């Protein structure tokens, strides 16, 4: 067992009373919270600052980490897309280095879980050894209804690669309602229901047709 005290302890909802002690088992799972006076002082590890649950990055593009610092901020979507199109994909070693650095930066900042958008397989192998828990949102899009099968097939291909690597936390999701045909959205929706998986998007367009995707609550 390990016993943690700090200037302040936050449980994810509120700060605990002063002089609280967090009790963890050998696997790092919280077992109890007790007043300082009830614990053998020699066993307590005191930390300056705030002890709190790990953070969750709910929207990440780890595969695009190599773009950091290469695109001007605050220019709007149109200019952003133009800048992205100008950038060349780096060599594999440079790409992997950027992925590793971004992952390390998140972990050092207290992030323990990430919802990562995947258009390619470039991050898959690395995630097998990451300390962070990833849920991979396989993002697909396509305006042309005639190409819905092809676009969805790409998503299935990426899903199969994750399965081979033992990365079970994934779902196929649309980029957005405005960037996918009705046929493609229906394929994604059907797959979400059949596999009992996540497939989520948010739209601010109130007149846009709404597609409902199944959301399964489970441990991240």
Choose between 63 and 79: higher pLDDT.
Answer: 63
Q: What contacts 23, CB < 8 A, 6 or more positions away? A: 1, 2, 3, 4, 30, 31, 32, 33, 34, 39
Domain with CATH 3.20.20.140 in the chain: 55-195
Structure confidence at residue 39 (pLDDT): 94
87-118 pLDDT, tens digit per residue, is 888 899 999 999 999 999 999 999 999 999 99
Instruction: Quote the percentage of the chain above a pLDDT of 90.
Output: 68
Q: Quick one: DSSP state of residue 24?
A: E
Q: Over the Cα atoms of the chain, what is R_g?
A: 22
138-172 pLDDT, tens digit per residue, is 999 998 999 999 999 999 999 999 999 999 999 99
Look at residue 205 and tell me whether its pLDDT is greater than 80. Answer: no
Instruction: Please state the pTM of the whole predicted model.
Output: 0.81
Mean per-residue pLDDT for 12-18? 94
3-class SS of residue 171: strand
Order across the sheet with 55-60: list the strands.
55-60, 111-118, 133-140, 170-174
Residue 40 token pair: 């053998």
The CATH number of 55-195, from 1.10.490.10, 1.10.10.10, 3.20.20.140, 3.40.50.800, is 3.20.20.140
Structure confidence at residue 203 (pLDDT): 52
Choose between 20 and 203: higher pLDDT.
Answer: 20
Structure confidence at residue 84 (pLDDT): 82
């Amino acid at each position: 067992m390990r016993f943690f005290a700090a200037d302040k302890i936050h449980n994810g909802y509120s700060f605990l009373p002063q002089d609280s002690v967090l009790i963890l088992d050998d696997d790092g799972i919280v077992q109890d919270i007790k007043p300082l006076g009830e614990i053998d002082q020699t066993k307590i590890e005191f930390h300056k600052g705030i002890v709190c649950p790990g953070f969750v990055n709910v929207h990440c593009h780890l595969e695009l980490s190599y773009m950091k610092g290469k695109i001007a901020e605050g220019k709007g979507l149109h200019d952003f897309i133009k800048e992205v199109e100008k950038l060349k994909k780096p060599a594999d070693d440079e790409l992997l280095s950027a992925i590793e650095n971004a992952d390390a930066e998140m972990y050092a900042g207290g992030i323990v879980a990430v919802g990562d958008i995947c258009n390619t397989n470039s991050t898959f192998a690395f995630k097998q050894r990451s300390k962070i828990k990833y849920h991979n949102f396989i993002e697909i899009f396509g305006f042309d209804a005639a190409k819905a099968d092809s676009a969805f097939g790409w998503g299935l291909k990426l899903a199969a690669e994750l399965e081979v690597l033992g990365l079970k936390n994934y779902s196929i999701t649309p980029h957005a309602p405005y960037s996918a045909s009705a046929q493609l959205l229906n394929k994604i929706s059907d797959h979400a229901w059949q596999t009992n998986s996540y497939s989520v998007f948010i739209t601010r367009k109130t007149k846009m047709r709404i597609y409902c995707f199944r959301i399964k609550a489970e441990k991240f």
